[in-house]
Amino acid sequence: MTEKLNRRAVVARILRDRGDAMAVTGLGNPSFDVMAAGDSPRNFYLWGAMGGAAMVGLGVARAQPTKSVLVITGDGEMLMGLGALATIAVDRPGNLSIIVLDNEFYAETGMQVTHTGRGVDLVGIASAAGFRGATMVRTMQELEGVAAQFYCAQGPTFTCIKISTEPNPAALPPRDGPYLRGRFREALMGTIAHQ
């Protein structure tokens, strides 16, 4: 049995080649992981809205069809909005990737086991909803095999990455909402975004 992946290493690898891609992050650790990989106006960190990350990503992807949009979220957050997988699979935005960092626990709230730790298969659910090539990743080698897909506009893609529960240093993104949305819009539209 190989050792489970470190979430920070996984996210750093995914975002290494991001270029001008936009990232939407699920609340809690996924937001912190993306912050740790390098803050950017092109990151939209959620601090709440549990169950909404994938749909925020769909809205961004439809508004910006020429940009790659990555939703990086956790298993608990994804489980709260499973219907979004059906909605996105039906809508088929080519530039949207849903990436679930799956540690099989609600790490923020006391390490309660999530349904993925009790046998629920998110890749199977995404496949059944209509995501072609939905993938489970357990090793860095497997991640290397899929990482380019996040930027190739052949989506929507769904990737579930099994990660460890080992703790990581704190990396808190800004919490000021108008700042986060203002800089995100300015990165896309320039200062006219504030008119």
Partner 1 sequence: MTINWPEHIFQELKSAQVKQVAYVPDAGHSQLIRMCETEASMHAVSLTTEEEGVAMLAGGWIGGQRGVLLMQSSGVGNCINMISMQHEYRIPLLTIVTMRGEWGEFNPQQVPMGKATQTVLEAAGVHVYRCDDAAQIQETVRAAVALAFNSSRVIAVLIGQRVVGTKNFLK
48 binds partner 1 (CB under 8 A): yes
- C-alpha distances (whole Å) from 131 to each of 15, 112, 113, 124, 161 are 22, 28, 26, 10, 16
Closer residue to partner 1 (CB): 105 or 184? 184
Q: Which residues contact 68 (CB under 8 A, 6 or more apart)?
A: 18, 19, 21, 22, 95, 97, 150, 151, 153
SS3 content of the chain, % helix, strand, coil (to 5): 45, 20, 35
6 binds partner 1 (CB under 8 A): no
Can you tell me which of 11, 23, 58, 123 binds partner 1, judged by CB under 8 A? 58
State the virtual CA torsion across 97, 98, 99, 101 in degrees, nearest 10.
Answer: 170
Can you tell me which of 30, 52, 76, 156 binds partner 1, judged by CB under 8 A? 52
CA distance 157 to 153: 9
Closer residue to partner 1 (CB): 94 or 177? 177
Peptide bond into 156 cis (omega under 30): yes
* Options 3-11, 141-149, 157-165, 174-182: segment touching partner 1 (CB under 8 A): 174-182
Closer residue to partner 1 (CB): 10 or 89? 89
CA distance 47 to 184: 15
22 binds partner 1 (CB under 8 A): yes
Quote the least distance from Cβ 121 to partner 1, whole Å: 19
- The dihedrals phi and psi of 34, each to the nearest 5 degrees, come to -70, -40
Quote the least distance from Cβ 89 to partner 1, whole Å: 11
90 binds partner 1 (CB under 8 A): yes
Can you tell me which of 4, 59, 115, 127 binds partner 1, judged by CB under 8 A? 59
Number of H helices and number of E strands within the chain? 8, 8
Closer residue to partner 1 (CB): 169 or 178? 178
Quote the least distance from Cβ 130 to partner 1, whole Å: 13
Residues that bind partner 1 (CB under 8 A): 22, 24, 44, 46-64, 81, 83-84, 86-87, 90-91, 177-178, 180-181, 184-185, 188-189, 193
